[in-house]
Chains A and B, each alone.
Chain A
Amino acid sequence: MSSDRRANDAEGYAAHQQAWESLPWYVNGTLQGDELERVERHVAGCVTCRSELKYLQRLGSELHATEELALSPERGLARALAEIEGRRRAVGRLTSWLGAAPAGLRLALAGQALAILLLAGALGWQLRPVPPPAFHTLAAEPAAAPPQARLRVVFDETLEEVGLRALLLEVEAGIVGGPSPTGVYTLGLPAAADGRPAAGALDRLRSHGGVRYVELVTR
């Protein structure tokens, strides 16, 4: 093989690699200028890249078509606004109090705050989590809780209480937490030996029209 041929092959391989890496952004239409032209030119003559392009287009359209979870923002917004108001009041109280204090006192307070910060840092280091001792005493009780799987679920707003109760009875689930501000419930239901809920229960919840989201809690 001549050195010219080797150089051409190396150049061709580099062009292929560059185009191959850029394909996802060719698919989402954000490549521009020279890079776009280079990829288009290469893909036109490269079977491997054309096949990959088809796969990525399919992947992209399926991922893009996934439904977004529409939860109500209002309760979270109310909490955020309350937090903002709380911070504003706290800062207002502190600045007005400091403004009224004599200069010497302000200096002393600043020094004290610094000392507290240093002490808190040292205390935090000493209190850092350490792994528990790996031994059991004879008096230790064995864990006897029945195996229970946990799921996080968002119900559709149209699901009424009667329907909810019937569904929970059907899959032998109970509400153990929630609803959270955005309507997330935690359900407990009988678990198999591997700690997961029976497949039928999970499928039933996923396919039920009144359930919008199901997530398995694995710990």
Chain B
Amino acid sequence: MKRSLYILAYSAVLGTVCAALLTGVAGATAERREANQRADKIRNILSVLEIEYDENASPEQLDSLFAEAVEDKSSGDIELYKSKAGVNPNIVAVGFEGQGLWGPIKGYLAVDTKTRRVAGMTIYEQEETPGLGGEIGNPDFQGRFVGRRFVGPVGKAGIVIVREGAPVAENEIQGISGATVTSGKLQQIINQAIERLMEEMKANG
């Protein structure tokens, strides 16, 4: 009995000390970590909208560039951005996020609302299996979205991620072998954002 009590007390003290230490460090670095994450998000929006930026810019510099070059058209539950000096005024970046296989997947899809084609895709947060589903973070894979239509042949909104190497229709994108679940989830997440965007477009004419 005394022995178990000692074990309990020992675990409680060790647990508390470790937790206190981690909480302290997490609190102390929170601001910097958040700034880094925000900067990463901004980099993604800028690159998907094809706005040039300095790779080594500090989070503060990115903040001001973002305010200068990007028009934030987000409303309610949809994240929408437009380039202020963009060559093509029909391009908007729409944020997408949802649950992947292991964790959240978050990113941006740039689309031309007139031609209904994808102009770019980036992902700034994902925890998919490295080497398999994790390849969705790879620019090569993201490049496969460019130029594809986000409306199907019968007019239904949405993209389809198909098997790698399969013949592709206009709104189909080659997936990643060995990453069936991730591909399926990503398709679902992106299509939700596309549907939301279409509603928004209808509402605003």
Instruction: Say if A and B assemble together.
Output: no
